[in-house]
Amino acid sequence: MSRNFKILLLLAAIGIMLIIRRFAIGLGASTALSDGYPLGLWIALDVVVGTALACGGYAVALLVYIFNRGQYHPLVRPAILTSALGYSMAGLSVAIDLGRPWNMWKIPLYFRNWNLNSALLEVALCIMAYVCVLWIELTPAMLKPSRITRFLDRILVWIIALGMLLPTMHQSSLGSLMLLAGPKLHPLWNTPLLPLLFLITCLAMGYAMVVFESAISRRHTALLAVLQKIAVFAGIAFVALRLIDLALRSRLSIAMHLDLYGIIFWIEIVLWLMPAMIANPFRGAMCIALAGGLYRFDTFLVAFQPGPGWHYFPSVSEMFISIGLIALEIAIYIALVKRFPILGGMPAQEHSRVAQAFQPAPRHQETT
Amino acid sequence: MSTIAEQLRRSGASRRDFLTFCGKLMVAAPAGLAITSFLSPEAVAATIGRARRPSVIWLHMQDCTGCTETLLRTSQPDLATLLFDVISLDYHETVMAASGYDAEHALADAMKENDGKYILVVEGSIPTGESGTYLKIAGRNGIDMLRDVAAHSAAVVAMGSCASWGGIPSSNINPTGATGVDSIIKSKPVVNLPGCPPNPYVLLATILEFAATGKPPKLDSLGRPKFAYDRVIHDHCPRRAHFDAGRFAKEFGDSGHRSGWCLYQLGCKGPVTHAPCSTRHFNEVVDCWPIGIGSPCVGCTEKDVAFTVPIFKTADIIHPVPPNTYPPIAAEHKGISPVATGVAGIVGGALIGAGLLASRNFPSKEE
Amino acid sequence: MDIDRRSLLKTAAAAATLTIIPAAEARERRVAPSDAVGLLYDTTRCVGCKACVVACKQANEMAPDVDGYGGGLYDAPEGLNEYTKNVIALYREGEEQSFVKKQCMHCIDPACVGACMLGAMHKGAFGVVSYDAAKCVGCRYCETVCPFNVPKFEWSKKAPKIVKCELCRHRLAEGKEPACSEVCPRGAVIFGRYADLLADARERLAKNPGKYVPKIYGERELGGTQVLYLSHVPFEKLGFRFQGEEAVPHVQQSVQHGVYKGFAAPVALYALLGAVMFRNRRRGDSDE
């Protein structure tokens, strides 16, 4: 075990202990959450930003399976693994954040009580389904060939298609969540385009994360430049949409007041445009991830205005639970990629029909 | 006229009784009176003792004699001491021995002897209807008698609500045209002591202040001495805590009523009534005042309230001065922890720093 | 280059985008149910006696809040919280002063009801916005979206619920009126049928020009509320932040229903994704 891995495990252990403490002493005592800010770090960061960063699988799947860029196929598995872990950690964060988690099973099962107007219901059901889909997509990598894998193989197309449908739905619904906050959301962030903007940001951040992983694992680096371009393009589209939308609804003047909100708004815009000027794909990806993360975090926390007298900054305990969960996620990722064939692209001996169908021709395959 | 001290010595009145009386004055007028702004009854006694025993002429107009009765309900000093030692009550139709023509002579003599120096106390409202013929005393209209006696007085004290603003006789439809003293007497200082009846110590304090300093106590815009009438009952009520806590008697005899809770919901006019009753009780018995015995205040000192507003109608609160336990519209809640901010800064900085460092190892072009 | 595939891809991309761009369908403006009840609160009649605060606590069996201004001795909340469903606050600025009663507004088109996943927050009998803890997971989304910051969470408890005024629906069920309106000595807060209260408020405005700010707060604001306010000072000063007439859920639900119309769009997208994948697979090798 390397030193870094040990540090990750230590952080994860601290996080887990703090989680136990949270359940022992209650939310009020372990977090800085309040009636003014009922949603805090765990929702804004772990769930909203975290799931976007975990959209790598979605983003690459679109590229490979819909736009038929088979040369990116080796990136699919590591992206799906990151997605699976990221979404699982997000789900765990929700379970920790809920005040009455023992009722959680009622969400998928009490379908007669479903409030079909609720964007949160859509998000919850979709994410629950998507986590299952992601782990199912990983089973070919982790299980030996058997009856199960052969069955999965036959329906894999439909699972993969589901793996592209579900994020489209719930990432846009995540945007609608704050749309319901209505007048409590600052006018620079409050727009009917929120679902679309959240979808664009999750795709951009997904691609950015794929660039990250590949850069860190030093694999398939030749492909990164194009991914980087996609992310940059998404960023420019995002900025254009936002500014045009604000202008059309006569709200652009608000951004000219350089109060806290105005300044943060422009920081977001600048961060989105910077990658166009950065050659280093790693730094460019960092910028995109930061820009998207900041935008989504702002929508849920900074631009949320409960009224005078309320303040929120996450407690140390909250922060170290988030850090612990992220460290756990990274540690598991490292352990799994060492154990299972994830990073190297699909090995030739796999008889997956899907794999064969989407495998690029040998002359395009990269030698590492 | 001798000083009060000389008179007390001559009459053999007990010094202890007089000191007790001075102590009561200090309680009755804790602030705003020259004669009581001392630290001990002895000092007050000395000040009053130096004053010349004031001559007081007491006229009854359209009254019920309740204001006299309130004076009679003092025992310290007892009425005798009061009448003969502290003030010289030269004319008082209820208690004086004379009657008939002797009484008229007594009035004339008193007026001549203390011309310009006596204090005129008026009890009862003055009818002005039908040229004032609704009230005749010794063949004269009350209003004429008042004008006559007041002309030679040093000052006028309107004792009771009737003399202050018309009282019960003036309530709708006011058939006699009853009115208070100060709408008739304009040339002399008039001090109004409204109340039905007012507290006798307020009267005594006012008269003695006049005797000792030659000036009336400080008055408000309605001519009432501020030392007694500057506050509404509500602001000084012993049951105020129950009001603030929302504990109200809802019916006479219910458990709240028997627990001594606030009488606001029974129509208590304490919030709109300026009077000293809540701290200066009657008959020299503690809690002997309306609210003290569980009867809501009817606002007897106030012209706009007494005998006009129904007894059981709840009052406005004219000067809501709520206690500090009202939350503001937007309360300030827990602030931001500097420790957490610091930790976040460190973590965030470390991540970005690490990212930048790692990115340096990554060339911009393909390996 | 395969023109067919290119154009297919382009169409696919266009179709996918179209299903995502919100088609803001006009969602009908909701009206109060026919049996709607509510409260009418008049600041000119309130004397701040707080009998309503005391009565609410008793009727709802709530614990005292001594952590606020109470200094450990008195039940003096800083505002609505997990121990307090109804509170009287004071607005004072120089000579201008008013009390204001704060509790759930029982909106006609509530944000909290639109938010709640399993309908723990729902509009129940008489239009009263009610809470059912059995269906609550404690996500606090209702608290986030309420424009009046009404629902409060029991942060101090191990099995926390959401706490808010429910118009004493347990008393309504017995034919009694809410505790606060029953106990008010001045009729500053009165209970009644929504239609009657609205008429009463309009009459007061008509008969007393100059006494009130010429508006009944809740008549149209945020889609209308069943708790109405009359005031002699501007409503913003009393903490009513929002004056817009659009119901809070209107935009979000218009967007959502526009996209998810009968779930047709997701199904169509799914079919499209599957179809494209099949087509790509049949091609075998990739190009470009």
Q: Whole-number mean pLDDT of chain C?
A: 87
HEC-encoded secondary structure of B155-205 = EEEEEHHHHHHCCHHHCCCCCCCEECHHHCCCCCCEEEECCCCCCHHHHHH
C78-90 residue pLDDT tens: 899 999 999 999 9
Tell which of C54, C80, C90, C180 to mutate to test the B interface (max B CBs under 10 Å).
C90
Q: How many angstroms away from the CA of A258 is the closest CA of chain B?
A: 23
Residue C284, pLDDT above cutoff 60: no
Tell which of B261, B329, B332, B334 to mutate to test the C interface (max C CBs under 10 Å).
B329
Q: How many angstroms away from the CA of B255 is the closest CA of chain C?
A: 16
Cα angle A346, A351, A353; round to 5 = 90
pLDDT at C280: 80
Q: Which amino acid is at A347?
A: P
Domain boundaries, chain B: 4-228, 231-324
Reported confidence tier of residue B17, pLDDT bands at 50, 70, 90:
confident
pLDDT at C287: 43
Q: Is the dihedral of CA A305, A307, A308, A314 positive or negative?
A: negative
pLDDT at C274: 85
E-only strand ranges, chain B: 55-60, 88-92, 119-123, 126-127, 136-137, 140-141, 155-159, 178-179, 190-193
Tokens representing C146 are 């309420």
Question: Region C30-54: what's the mean pLDDT?
Answer: 93
pLDDT at C78: 87
pLDDT at B177: 96
Q: Do A310 and B333 touch (CB under 8 A)?
A: yes
Q: Which amino acid is at B132?
A: G
Domain boundaries, chain A: 39-342
CA–CA separation, C160 and C138 (whole Å):
7
Q: Do C259 and A172 touch (CB under 8 A)?
A: yes
Contact list in C for residue B320 (CB cut-off 8 A) is 47-48, 97, 99
pLDDT at A358: 60
Asked whether the beta carbons of A138 and A163 are under 8 A apart, the reply is: no
At residue B158, φ and ψ (nearest 5 deg) are -90, 105
Say if residue B200 is preceded by a cis peptide, omega within 30 of 0: no
From B263, B319, B271, select the one nearest C185 (Cα to Cα): B263
Q: Report the topology of domain B4-228.
A: Rossmann fold (3.40.50)
Q: Do C248 and A113 touch (CB under 8 A)?
A: no
Cα–chain center distance at A306: 26
pLDDT at A277: 83
Residue C21, pLDDT above cutoff 70: no
Three-state secondary-structure class, residue B39: coil
* Four-way CATH pick for A39-342: 1.10.260.40, 1.10.645.10, 1.20.1630.10, 3.40.50.720: 1.20.1630.10
Contact list in B for residue A315 (CB cut-off 8 A) is 337, 340
Q: Does C269 touch chain A (CB under 8 A)?
A: yes
Contact list in A for residue B336 (CB cut-off 8 A) is 311-313
CA–CA separation, B217 and B179 (whole Å):
23
Contact list in B for residue A283 (CB cut-off 8 A) is 355-356, 359
State ipTM: 0.90
CA–CA separation, B177 and B171 (whole Å):
10
CA–CA separation, C195 and A10 (whole Å):
63
Query: What is the longest distance spanned by two Cα atoms in chain B?
Result: 135
Where does C160-232 have alpha helices with state H?
A: 169-172, 179-183, 194-207
pLDDT at C1: 39
Which residues does B71 contact at the CB level (< 8 Å), separation at least 6? B79, B82, B200, B203
Cα–chain center distance at A157: 23
Q: Does C63 touch chain B (CB under 8 A)?
A: no
Nearest CA in chain A to C21: A196
B303-342 residue pLDDT tens: 999 999 999 998 887 655 545 568 889 888 887 888 888 8
pLDDT at A350: 47
Where does B29-99 have alpha helices with state H?
A: 41-50, 66-72, 79-81
Residues of chain A with pLDDT under 50: 348-351, 361, 363-368
Which residues does A310 contact at the CB level (< 8 Å), separation at least 6? A34, A35, A36, A37, B333
pLDDT at A69: 81
Q: Do A281 and B364 touch (CB under 8 A)?
A: yes
Q: Which amino acid is at C94?
A: G
Q: Do C277 and A157 touch (CB under 8 A)?
A: yes
Contact list in B for residue C79 (CB cut-off 8 A) is 327, 330-331
CA–CA separation, C94 and C96 (whole Å):
6
Contact list in B for residue A311 (CB cut-off 8 A) is 333-336
From A22, A93, A16, select the one nearest A51 (Cα to Cα): A93
Asked whether the beta carbons of C121 and C140 are under 8 A apart, the reply is: no
Work out the end-to-end distance of chain B between its first and last CA atoms, rounded to an integer number of angstroms.
Answer: 123
Q: Do C255 and A114 touch (CB under 8 A)?
A: no
Q: Which helix (H) or strand (E) holds A198?
A: helix A194-217
CA–CA separation, A218 and A202 (whole Å):
24
Q: Say which residue the tokens 């001795």 belong to.
A: C73
CA–CA separation, A164 and A170 (whole Å):
11
CA–CA separation, C165 and C191 (whole Å):
14
Q: Does C45 touch chain B (CB under 8 A)?
A: no
Would the pTM count as exceeding 0.95?
A: no
CA–CA separation, A133 and A128 (whole Å):
9
pLDDT at C36: 96
CA–CA separation, C259 and C264 (whole Å):
9
pLDDT at C224: 95
Chains that touch A (3 or more CB pairs under 8 A): B, C
Tokens representing A354 are 């899907």
pLDDT at C29: 85
Question: Region B116-136: what's the mean pLDDT?
Answer: 94
Q: Do B359 and A216 touch (CB under 8 A)?
A: no
Q: How many angstroms away from the CA of A3 is the closest CA of chain C?
A: 38
Q: Do C252 and A182 touch (CB under 8 A)?
A: yes
DSSP code per residue over B128-141: -GGGGTT-EETTEE
Q: What is the CA radius of gyration of chain A?
A: 21
pLDDT at C87: 95
Question: Region B269-274: what's the mean pLDDT?
Answer: 94
Q: Do C144 and A38 touch (CB under 8 A)?
A: yes
CA–CA separation, B356 and B24 (whole Å):
86
Q: Which amino acid is at B271?
A: P
Residue A150 vs residues A78, B113, C58: alpha-carbon distances, Å: 22, 132, 65
Q: Which helix (H) or strand (E) holds A241?
A: helix A224-248
Binning chain C into helix, strand and coil, the percentages to the nearest 5 are 40, 15, 45
Which residues does C23 contact at the CB level (< 8 Å), separation at least 6? C258, C259
Q: Does A195 touch chain C (CB under 8 A)?
A: yes
Q: Say which residue the tokens 């509320």 belong to.
A: C225
CB count within 10 Å of CB C252 equals 30
Q: Report the topology of domain B231-324.
A: Cytochrome-c3 Hydrogenase; Chain A, domain 2 (4.10.480)
At residue C130, φ and ψ (nearest 5 deg) are -115, 160
CA–CA separation, A220 and A355 (whole Å):
18
CA–CA separation, A329 and A349 (whole Å):
29
pLDDT at B151: 95
Reported confidence tier of residue B88, pLDDT bands at 50, 70, 90:
confident
